[in-house]
Amino acid sequence: MKKLNFVDKGFLIAETRETPMHVAGVSLYTLPEGADEQEFLRETADGLRNFDKLLPPFGDRIKTGLLGMAGNVYWEPDPALDIEYHIRHSALPEPGRYRELFNLASRLHTTLLDRSRPLWETHLIEGLQKRQFAMYTKTHHAAIDGARSVHLSRSMLSADPTSRMLESPMSMNSWERYRATLPTARENGLGDSNLRTVSEALKAVYDTSGNLYGALKRFTNAWRGEGGALMLPFMQVPTSHINTSVGSARRFVAQSWPFARIHAIGKAYDGTFNDAVLAMCAGALRTYLQRHGVMPDDSLKAMVPVSLRQAGDVDSTNAVASISADLATNISDPAKRIQAIKASTKAGKDFYSGMSAEEVTLFSMLIQSPAMLLMPLGLASKMPPFNTVISNVPGIRQKMYWNGARMEGSYPMSIITDGIALNITLVTYDRNVDFGIIACRRSMPQVQRLIDYMEDALVELEVAAGIPTGGPAGTAKEKAPRSTAKARTKSAAAKKKPVARKKAAPKKKPAAKKAPAAKKKTAPKKKK
């Protein structure tokens, strides 16, 4: 048996019927040319069930002692593992659009995982148009984090379309083969993490004490108003339409944008890719709340998870901390807004500077612990630690195949909690960035509009920076899931005062690839 650490156990404690604590994803594939759909899917399902021994904890269930969750919690092998329960085959109703796919994923994401069994399910989904199929997989957050889920996906995929995988990607054999292809911690210059001498141990204690003291001092200064751009949980967090009690039903929407387009925004403002993502989401949230007449006067704050996973570490279940980012939604100018976001994220990263991964984890738990106490008391919506969660999970930067089926996109589905009714997670894949938005179906009406507003926010940032709007031209969304969302520049450009910029941006690339995207005035069809 393996004992769960504090973070993993926390996800189990925090789970309720209204707030399931599992993470999931929808992967979309195109059948190999000439393959018979029914035969291919049957063989694929058989492969998912083929294993000698499952990778822990996929063959394990939760075990508690006399004190229940108040005591130690362990993973123990399930003596009656029923693989047919965990691997399921589903079909979409006609006409098999992305609308029907994401509606099904929304329903699947609503239900709790059975704690008497291993905490995961995989659904193979057929019935999509254009010879496509999908796979929805959900796993309890106590067993996996975003980075490890990418490793699991990577273990079943290949850059070679002729490669075939006959075993389950969750089998120990498959996992060991995948691990053998990765650089080890020693090869990455990390060396042996064990302290081998008394002097090293004493130095570690001294450094930890000093680092935590310094972090506590920065924490205190921030609450005294002397922290500059540094934001912390509960600090200047307004109550908003997002911060309400949530029901159990979920709504999932997804869309892809070219990585190069978002990266160009970060570069144009001397920021990072993450800064551009936050600015894109901030602009969309500002528009959404304004359209619903519930925009708070103070700026929204977002929790931004930060991976602490060391290179070569593929076995840790959860290795994350977080920073609080000011989304500057009270600033109307998109250029000034992204500068405020940059300052906030830099201050958040600097806050943890000089600390080891263990020290970051410890301090992050300390400052997040009040939120864990407020949830069971029903006070999270009245005293939110932040308004939303925006998470970037680095993915696979090349085209991949699963038994010859080309992967078209990988859309993440994360967690919402009581008082935080919206979560935006993104994964990079090939040349695209795949966004997955999960929200409380009752608390966040018309959440699908965020897709349009995110495109508008991108256009605003492009216009303000004087770079071409719309990015590379793509096909209509009903034809390809990873196509570029067409630029809806009329409304975005109208908000900008400098007339020269509005006219100059579309003329940067008069070629057929970009001009239609810049001139298109109607809203594109979106996936729901």
Q: Count Cβ atoms below 10 Å from residue 96 Cβ, excluding itself.
A: 18
pLDDT at 376: 63
- Total number of domains constituting the chain: 1
Q: Could you tell me whether strands 432-440 and 422-429 are parallel, antiparallel, or unpaired per DSSP bridges?
A: antiparallel
Q: What distance in Å separates the CA atoms of residue 109 and residue 233, rounded to the nearest whole number?
A: 27
Report the percent of the chain where pLDDT is more than 70. 73
Where helices occur in 378-480 by DSSP H, the ranges are: 449-465
| 406 part of a folded domain | no
> What number of CA atoms fall less than 13 Å from residue 171's CA on the CB side?
17
Spell out the residues 6+ positions from residue 488 whose beta carbon is closer than 8 angstroms to its own: 452, 455, 456, 459, 520, 521, 522, 523, 524
3-state secondary structure of 303: strand
pLDDT value at 410 more than 90: yes
Among 230-234, 245-249, 396-400, 465-469, the range scoring the smallest mean pLDDT is 230-234
State the average pLDDT over residues 240-252: 92
CA distances to 282, 290, 501 from 295, rounded to whole Å, are 12, 5, 28
| 343 part of a folded domain | no
Average pLDDT, the chain: 81
Q: Are 449 and 291 in contact (CB under 8 A)?
A: yes
Task: Pick left, alpha or beta for residue 429 (phi over 0 → left; psi -120 to 50 → alpha; otherwise beta).
Answer: beta
State the average pLDDT over residues 170-189: 73
State the average pLDDT over residues 266-288: 97
Q: Report the CATH number at residue 172.
A: 3.30.559.10
pLDDT at 27: 96
pLDDT at 519: 41
| 394 part of a folded domain | no
Q: What distance in Å separates the CA atoms of residue 89 and residue 159, rounded to the nearest whole number?
A: 26
In terms of pLDDT, which residue wins out, 326 or 180?
A: 326
pLDDT at 225: 72
pLDDT value at 322 more than 70: yes
Cα–chain center distance at 245: 22
Range of the structural domain that residue 15 is part of: 2-180
> What number of CA atoms fall less than 13 Å from residue 315's CA on the CB side?
10
> Which residue from 414, 402, 481, 432 is spatially nearest to 152, judged by alpha carbons?
402
pLDDT at 352: 77
pLDDT at 493: 41
> Which residue from 4, 18, 9 is spatially nearest to 418, judged by alpha carbons?
18
pLDDT at 373: 66
| 510 part of a folded domain | no
Residue in the structure block whose two tokens are 């029914």? 38
Q: What distance in Å separates the CA atoms of residue 123 and residue 514, rounded to the nearest whole number?
A: 38
Residue in the structure block whose two tokens are 């906030």? 344
| 89 part of a folded domain | yes
- The residues carrying an active-site annotation are 141
Q: Are 354 and 367 in contact (CB under 8 A)?
A: no
In terms of pLDDT, which residue wins out, 384 or 58?
A: 58
pLDDT at 231: 81
Judged on CB neighbours under 10 Å (0-12, 13-18, 19+), 373 is exposed
pLDDT value at 262 more than 90: yes
| 409 part of a folded domain | no
State the average pLDDT over residues 218-226: 70
pLDDT value at 527 more than 90: no
This prediction's pTM? 0.80
| 106 part of a folded domain | yes
Beta strands in 66-216 (DSSP E): 68-77, 87-91, 120-126, 132-140
Binned at pLDDT 50, 70 and 90, residue 92 comes out as very high
State the average pLDDT over residues 400-413: 96
| 86 part of a folded domain | yes
Q: What distance in Å separates the CA atoms of residue 82 and residue 294, rounded to the nearest whole number?
A: 48
Helix 273-291 and helix 334-351: axis angle, to 10°?
A: 120
Q: Count Cβ atoms below 10 Å from residue 185 Cβ, excluding itself.
A: 15
